[in-house]
């Protein structure tokens, strides 16, 4: 339904959505360059090539603009993971999923800053908000996803949802912190970091029997369904910030 409605949007509505994306792109560049505390609406308007008042047509405050910015980045990240699973179906496994996720996080400095609570980038927002509102909404779907994998013998049956989430978070966050602390001569590429996270999780979470082809197929379906659900949640959150200015779904432009 959303795709049809977006396709039929009047030209003025499409231009508003494109303008919102241009503003978000400008805000991203400036926050990464100067940090949130030093980035003003005037700066964003100047770089985006719009009047200051135009930004307030989309968001009522700098805080709302930044919330939209984080939601935009997160939706793009999950969309990219979704495309990777579609283009490389053999990676539709739990380790493959989080390997893709790790690579995307390493490619997105703003999202990295949020995950490691980087005060140089986020400024006073670090003290204001430390948890994502999206994460709790995905706990139940993640539990359902794990239940399918556990039933098929693809993950350890002795670990609960909280245990799996702890291991996943440790691998993802640990890779971010460790690479930031290493000298450039020892840093691996984003691609390699993703591979290592996926391999680590494959070893830590592996089930105790060799899965059949039917088990693998069920795992691939469950993985894609979980990511589709995560993407739908991310898009819904983005809609809260953008309303009718929501950009087209990534499937429409692929």
SS3 label, residue 42: helix
SS3 label, residue 105: helix
CA distances to 60, 155, 198, 247 from 75, in Å = 22, 27, 21, 11
CA pair distance 107, 164, nearest whole angstrom: 24
Q: What are the tokens at 25?
A: 């792109």
**Residue partners of 88: CB distance under 8 A and separation at least 6:** 96
| pTM of this structure | 0.85
Per-residue pLDDT of the chain (254 residues; tens, 9 = 90+): 444 444 555 788 788 889 999 999 999 999 999 999 999 999 999 999 999 999 999 999 999 999 999 999 999 999 999 999 999 999 999 889 988 998 899 889 999 898 888 888 988 877 665 555 556 788 889 889 988 998 898 888 898 888 988 998 888 888 888 888 889 888 888 888 888 888 998 889 888 888 899 999 999 999 999 999 999 999 999 999 998 888 777 654 44
């Amino acid at each position: 339904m959303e795709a049809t409605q977006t396709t039929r949007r009047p030209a003025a509505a499409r231009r508003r959505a494109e303008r919102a994306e241009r503003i978000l792109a400008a805000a991203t560049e400036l926050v990464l360059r100067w940090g949130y505390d030093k980035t003003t609406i005037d700066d964003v308007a100047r770089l985006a090539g719009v009047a200051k008042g135009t930004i307030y047509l989309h968001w009522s405050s700098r805080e709302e603009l930044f919330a939209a910015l984080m939601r935009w980045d997160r939706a793009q990240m999950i969309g990219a993971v979704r495309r990777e699973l579609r283009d490389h179906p053999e990676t539709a496994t739990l380790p493959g999923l989080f390997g893709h996720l790790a690579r995307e996080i390493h490619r997105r400095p703003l999202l990295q800053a949020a995950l490691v609570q980087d005060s140089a980038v986020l400024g006073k927002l670090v003290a204001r908000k430390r948890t994502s509102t999206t994460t709790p909404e995905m706990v139940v779907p993640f539990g359902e996803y794990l239940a399918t994998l556990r039933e098929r013998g693809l993950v350890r049956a002795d670990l609960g949802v909280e245990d799996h989430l702890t291991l996943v978070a440790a691998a993802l966050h640990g890779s971010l912190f460790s690479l930031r602390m290493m000298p450039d001569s020892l840093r691996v590429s984003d691609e390699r970091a993703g591979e290592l996270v996926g391999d680590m999780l494959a070893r830590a979470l592996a089930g105790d029997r060799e899965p059949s082809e039917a088990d693998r197929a069920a795992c691939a379906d469950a993985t894609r369904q979980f990511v589709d659900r995560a993407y739908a949640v991310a898009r819904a959150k983005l809609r809260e910030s953008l309303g009718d200015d929501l950009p087209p779904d990534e499937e429409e432009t692929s």
